[in-house]
Amino acid sequence: MYNSVTKGPSSFQGSSRMKSCITNAVSNFFFEYETPRQVLVRSKRVGVVCRLIQLGVLAYIIGWVFIYEKGYQSTDTAVSSVFTKMKGVGYTNVNGEERIWDEADYVFPVQGDSSFVVMTNYIITKEQKIGKCPELHPSYVSAPLPPTPTPPHSAHTHTPTTGKMTGRCLMDSKTCEVLAWCPVEDDSNIPDPALLISAENYTLFIKNSVNFPLYKVRRSNLVEGINMQYIKSCLYDPEKDPLCPIFRLGDLVKMSGYNFSTIAREGGAIGIVIDWTCNLDYAESECCPTYTFHGLYGDAGEKDKARASVGYNFRYTQHYMEDSMEKRNLLKVFGIRFDIIVRSEARKFDIIPTLMAIGSGVGIFGVVSSALYILKSKAYKNLMEPTLC
Amino acid sequence: MYNSVTKGPSSFQGSSRMKSCITNAVSNFFFEYETPRQVLVRSKRVGVVCRLIQLGVLAYIIGWVFIYEKGYQSTDTAVSSVFTKMKGVGYTNVNGEERIWDEADYVFPVQGDSSFVVMTNYIITKEQKIGKCPELHPSYVSAPLPPTPTPPHSAHTHTPTTGKMTGRCLMDSKTCEVLAWCPVEDDSNIPDPALLISAENYTLFIKNSVNFPLYKVRRSNLVEGINMQYIKSCLYDPEKDPLCPIFRLGDLVKMSGYNFSTIAREGGAIGIVIDWTCNLDYAESECCPTYTFHGLYGDAGEKDKARASVGYNFRYTQHYMEDSMEKRNLLKVFGIRFDIIVRSEARKFDIIPTLMAIGSGVGIFGVVSSALYILKSKAYKNLMEPTLC
Amino acid sequence: MYNSVTKGPSSFQGSSRMKSCITNAVSNFFFEYETPRQVLVRSKRVGVVCRLIQLGVLAYIIGWVFIYEKGYQSTDTAVSSVFTKMKGVGYTNVNGEERIWDEADYVFPVQGDSSFVVMTNYIITKEQKIGKCPELHPSYVSAPLPPTPTPPHSAHTHTPTTGKMTGRCLMDSKTCEVLAWCPVEDDSNIPDPALLISAENYTLFIKNSVNFPLYKVRRSNLVEGINMQYIKSCLYDPEKDPLCPIFRLGDLVKMSGYNFSTIAREGGAIGIVIDWTCNLDYAESECCPTYTFHGLYGDAGEKDKARASVGYNFRYTQHYMEDSMEKRNLLKVFGIRFDIIVRSEARKFDIIPTLMAIGSGVGIFGVVSSALYILKSKAYKNLMEPTLC
């Protein structure tokens, strides 16, 4: 053995001294190699410890990195696009004036975006025209203490909320005069129940296509088997019809933990998350969306009430000419805002992360071993040499 | 040599036994180190195998991780914003009534979002007012079997599509009476060819700025050399003008694999992907966008037809007062929806991923070696000790 | 020592030859292990080098990977939704005609999207109706050389910008006649100062909720302590009120490096980035947003001017019936476009990346050592064997 050691280097140096021929150097490079001398130690305790460590690392690499964390796969997120379409007709009868609301009138914006508002309640101020009138609507003034109109939106204002001060203040109505669209809006009390409570029965149709560029995979939420016949009849249900792309508004509200009559009155916001978590090592057709629904701004409406901002509303006008004078109808719209959010993660086997995982796993093995080094070198002073697994 | 082994530890223990002076311990820590004893084995087969393994790992680290996967770079995605502007004028002549459509009339929404619809066809129902009329337009009833209006959007409805049942059913028109915006829309046949087929010549101007916060790099799709002079004249062409931000609608439709007359008639959806894949190890000015176009919902219109949902349309109203009565014009708009999607990935050298890559590469080396361990220990029973590369 | 070496394998082979009983094989597997023979070399230079390398790697792993790069944490990005609400009233007095603008009139779109435009200036063309008139407004023709209307938007057009050529050309007005909405718009000179310069005092209220699905954490920009009372009074200030969700338009413009009077006149685009960079190893309540503001399209307005596209404007129409004829008011709207962009990265301790980091760190150690291999084997020819740290 010892000879082989001495012979090795000496012959190496000899040969290189004798003739510095490249071919020979190459053959040396190829046909010689070094290896540490191994000692076979027989020891119950150390042996068991060593094996357990090795098994532990092995278990970690296989179990955690591979099975749990899927470390052998690469991931990609999708390019996605969403279209929506509401369906349903609303009917209101405000002091004898009947009115029909169809999707062209109650959806903002009309063109089917992924984020839109469905009107469920409104305060209309008709035939406003530019003029001079008291800043606050009489209903506020007469009230013992005037309620701030729909916090917090009028809260953060440092200019009059409705118009431009003319400087004159009216004793009789206890407010100052403004140049504004008159008469000014009176939003002191919101219609209860909501005027368009029937919105509960509207249906929402969602079209969503995702595209995983890395894997060249394109999917639509109208997956295999969802044909026109099915869509005609189906309605989304978490258990029975989890893939039906048609949702009843009432169900959406319930599933996101709201009470419809409340949200319809003051307005609110609901997120519809379409989740595409796909393992493309399986068949493409198994890559299907799952829909989840959650009220935005924290789950408990209570917590929010205590907080700053409740409800969802905005103002909207229809301008028209009458007697060659511009007039407008002002609608304060309370509605449910839907944000359709697409989350996507596709995974597929890839050699690089696999090797990375293995590599680091082995590295960890080294750490653990050397960690036990001191321990053992202490434990085995009787041995001539400290030992490694 | 053998002595050095015995001397080593003993002297170590001796010195430490003799005086437990820290400085000495430190000097020991610094001036002594352990190393495995190396054996030089001469063996063609094993030597070659070992060297090949080593070369393989080396090739893997350099070739794959570094050159192919660019493992030495960190990546960042951009914060992006997109503005759009349509240009062009449409002209329609429906039974003698001439009309001009400019971008304020045919783009929804008007303010230049990254997702918008260009009207290419429409069914107008003029002077609707609230009233009582048969639910279905005569044209349906007279027809042998009434075609469902533009599936699937009317498909998923459980309330009457147009209004509120009054309860009375009219024998003469074979339908029931509803309170609705009368007269009800008749969308049984879509104008063919599309009324605004001239949309083919509209141009779309896209402004897109991206911002890679990690590298503090901001780029616009109006890159160096794209000045006002160029924009005045240019038109996007994949080969000749790949950086011109102005697109002819007809070209967009063709490049996304659609037939213009078809998509103009029924509507459709097109995704414009602006791809910013930049290697910031080179000059910033080489970080330029590439535009790709694809029809949304799978490429083959055929497959979709079989599927649930075809075309793209929505309803839109213009309200006005006449004789102090509210009326509206209802437009069923067929159009091309454009979704401008920005994908971005910038890469730049970073020390961390570099070291990670090297580290794991080395780890893998360990795996491979030990994998060959049993093999070799079997193959070289004649050797006194099993060997490692 | 030598015996132990020979005894090891032989006994192993012997036992396995004698009885191939599994239990015995297992006991061997557990109670025997191999270890390289260690040599203790005493050498100042090599020892120091070795230790320094080890310390260096240790420093790298601890200092860089862990402290600097936080390699021990996993990351997640948020699902986010943004609502906005403008507040404030504008007043214009154009040749004696007073007019009031409220949020329903100057925000596009009205429903409070994350991307919206605030009108600050406009050119109105009243009572347009379909008819025949000269393509260019007289003001262009009379001018010595007709300025192109607001580049570059009219630049990229290959059809007449306003209507359909009738074929007749009018000598008197030196332009050709078109069928168009007449009279045609005259946007040759933009009102200066901006008509709605008072927009500087409008306030913007931002509601933003983020949701880190991986860690099941949901946050809102109305963080703890931001209650209705605070919102009533507060106004965002980078130092004093960095968490107040209410922003003065003038401040927004200043903070993004623009001059208000300029941007109000020609329009512009501002990005509001809400940054949620949270270390969830700390309390949730410490996960708060930070707001940053930057003008889109490069910082220097100068650079842009030289470039292709300046300002931000779009056209908007109000249709109405008069004498049973359809008319429209055309508004060319100049405004500030706000894009609210949410960036989010939450980090939390995770065992996997920790082990990955350690693992690769160890791997690197291997690299460095073997890199010094040749050096040392040269340096210590006198040693019988080349050495490793």
pLDDT tens per residue, range B319-329:
888 877 888 99
Nearest C-alpha neighbor of C49 from the set B359, B31, A366, B26: B31
pLDDT attached to residue A323: 79
pLDDT at A118: 95
- Residue A137's pLDDT is 62
Beta strands in A12-96 (DSSP E): 32-36, 38-42, 73-76, 79-87, 90-94
B17 in reach of chain A (CB within 8 A): no
A13 within some domain = no
Residue B370 lies in a domain: yes
Residues B331 and B361 grouped into a single domain: no
Confidence of residue C368 (pLDDT cuts 50, 70, 90): low
Q: Does C126 touch chain A (CB under 8 A)?
A: no
Q: How far apart are CA A319 and CA A34, in angstroms?
A: 90
Tell me what pLDDT residue C223 has: 86
**Residue C388 resides in a domain:** no
> Domain count of chain C?
2
Q: Is the pLDDT of residue C387 over 50?
A: no
Predicted local confidence at residue B140, as pLDDT = 52
> Are C257 and C365 found together in one domain?
no
Q: Of the candidates B69, B337, B364, which has its C-beta nearest A358's C-beta?
A: B364
pLDDT at C49 (0 to 100): 73
Q: Is residue B55 part of a domain?
A: yes
Q: Which is it for the CA torsion B100, A84, A294, A195, positive or negative?
A: positive
pLDDT score, position C1? 34
B32 or A147: which leads in pLDDT: B32
Determine, for residues B153 and A205 on separate chains, whether the beta-carbon distance falls below 8 Å. Answer: yes
When mean pLDDT is compared across A256-260, A371-375, B131-135, B179-183, the lowest value belongs to A371-375
Q: What is the pLDDT of residue B63?
A: 78
Are residues B62 and B204 both part of a single domain? no
* pLDDT exceeds cutoff 60 at A199: yes
- The answer on whether A208 is annotated among ligand-binding residues is no
B5: contact with A, CB 8 A cutoff: yes
Contact criterion met (CB < 8 Å) for C51 and B29: yes
pLDDT band at C294 (very low <50, low <70, confident <90, very high): confident
Q: Which of B346, B210, B272, B275 is nearest to C297 (CA)?
A: B210
- Percent of the residues in chain A that have a pLDDT greater than 70, as a whole number: 70
Question: In three state form, how does the secondary structure of chain B look?
Answer: CHHHHHHHHHHHHHHHHHCCCHHHHHHHHHHEEEEECEEEEECHHHHHHHHHHHHHHHHHHHHHHHHHCCCCEEEECCEEEEEEEEECCEEEEECCEEEEECHHHHEECCCCCCEEEEEEEEEEEEEEEEEEEECCCHHHHHCCCCCCCCCCCCCCCCCCCCCEEEEEEECCCCEEEEEEEECCCCCCCCCCCCCCHHHHHCEEEEEEEEEECCCCEEEECCCCCCCHHHHHHCCCECCCECCCCEEEHHHHHHHCCCCHHHHHHHCEEEEEEEEEEEECCCCHHHCCCEEEEEECCCCCHHHHHHCCCCCCEEEEEEEEEECCEEEEEEEEEEEEEEEEEEEEEEEEECHHHHHHHHHHHHHHHHHHHHHHHHHHHHHCCCCCCCCCC
pLDDT at A321: 81
For residue C318, CA distances in Å to B234, B322, C135, C321, C330 come to 33, 16, 22, 10, 7
Taking one residue from A and the other from B, the number of pairs with CB-CB distance under 8 angstroms is 237
Residues of B in contact with A205 (CB under 8 A): 152-153, 156
In this complex, which of C83, C89, C228 lies closest to A269 when CB atoms are compared? C83
CA distance A190 to chain B (A): 24
Is C314 assigned to a binding site?
yes
Same domain, A92 and A117: yes
Query: What is the C-alpha to C-alpha distance for residues A215 and A250, in angstroms, rounded to an integer?
Result: 38
Instruction: Look at C294 and B28; give whichever has higher pLDDT.
Output: C294
Q: Does one domain contain both B362 and B242? A: no
CATH code of the domain covering residue C226: 2.60.490.10
**More confident: B6 or B311:** B311
Residue A266 token pair: 């003051």
pTM recorded for the entire structure: 0.79
The pLDDT of residue B144: 41
What's the mean pLDDT in C272-290? 92
Q: Would you tell me which residues 165-204 of chain B have a C-beta closer than 8 angstroms to some C-beta of chain A?
A: 179-181
Kindly tell me the sign of the dihedral angle through the C-alpha atoms of C61, C62, C63, C68: positive
Interface test with A, best of B309, B326, B362 (most A CBs within 10 A): B309
Whether the per-residue pLDDT at A342 is higher than 70: the answer is yes
User: What's the start-to-end Cα distance of chain A, in Å?
Assistant: 23
pLDDT of residue A76 exceeding 80, the answer is yes
* A119 annotated ligand binder: no
A252 and A296 co-located in one domain: yes
pLDDT-based confidence at residue B211 (cuts at 50, 70, 90):
confident
The confidence score (pLDDT) of residue A246 equals 94
Is the pLDDT confidence value at C274 over 90? Answer: yes
pLDDT of residue B305: 45
* Residue A175 located in a structural domain: no
Residue A14: both structure tokens together: 């000899």
With both helix axes pointing from N to C terminus, report the angle between A22-31 and A2-18 in degrees, rounded to the nearest 10: 160
Q: Work out the average pLDDT over A326-342.
A: 92
pLDDT above 70 coverage of chain B, percent: 70
Same domain, C208 and C107: yes
Phi and psi at residue A59, in whole multiples of 5°? -60, -45
Residue A184 inside a domain? The answer is no
Chain C CB within 8 Å of residue B328 CB:
no
Provide the pLDDT for residue C29: 66
User: Are residues C292 and C265 part of one domain?
Assistant: yes
The closest alpha carbon to B100, from C125, C320, C164, belongs to: C164
pLDDT tens digits along C317-329: 888 888 778 889 9
Mark yes or no for CB contact B40/A8 under 8 Å.
Answer: yes
Question: In terms of domains, do C256 and C330 share one?
Answer: yes
Q: CB distance B179–A98 less than 8 Å? A: yes
* In the predicted structure, residue A108 carries a pLDDT above the cut 60: yes
pLDDT band at C203 (very low <50, low <70, confident <90, very high): very high
A239 lies in some domain: yes
Flag whether residue B14 sits within 8 Å of chain C, measured between CB atoms: no
- Average pLDDT, stretch C150-174? 57
Q: Do C307 and B226 form a contact (C-beta atoms < 8 A)?
A: yes
Note whether residue A225 is domain-resident: yes
Residues A272 and A317 in one domain: yes
B1 is in an annotated binding site: no
Residues B85 and B99 in one domain: yes
pLDDT range class, residue B118, cuts 50, 70, 90:
very high
Q: What is the ipTM of this complex?
A: 0.75
Q: What is the pLDDT of residue A119?
A: 95
What average pLDDT does the segment C248-258 reach? 92
Q: Residue for token digits 């009947």?
A: A98
Q: Which of B39-43, B240-244, C110-114, C330-334 has the lowest mean pLDDT?
A: B39-43
User: Of C368, C358, C365, nearest to C65 (Cα)?
Assistant: C358
A189 has pLDDT over 60: yes
Answer yes or no: is pLDDT of A50 > 90: no
Q: Is residue C203 domain-shared with residue C328, that is, in the same domain? A: yes
Domain range spanning residue C341? Answer: 76-124+197-300+309-348
Instruction: Mean pLDDT check: name the lowest of A119-128, C115-124, C379-388.
Output: C379-388
For C296, which DSSP code?
A: S
The nearest CA of chain A is from the CA of C362 a distance in Å of: 5
Q: For position C58, which CATH number holds?
A: 1.10.287
pLDDT at C68 over 50: yes
Chain B residues in contact with A109 by the CB 8 A cut-off are 108-109
Q: Which two tokens mark B16?
A: 């430490």
Nearest to C250 by CA among C294, C293, C199, C295: C199
B277 pLDDT above the threshold of 50: yes
The answer to whether the annotation marks C44 as part of a ligand binding site is no
Nearest chain A Cα distance for residue C378, angstroms: 12
Q: How confident is the model at residue B173 (pLDDT cuts 50, 70, 90)?
A: low
Q: CB–CB of A179/C89 below 8 Å?
A: no
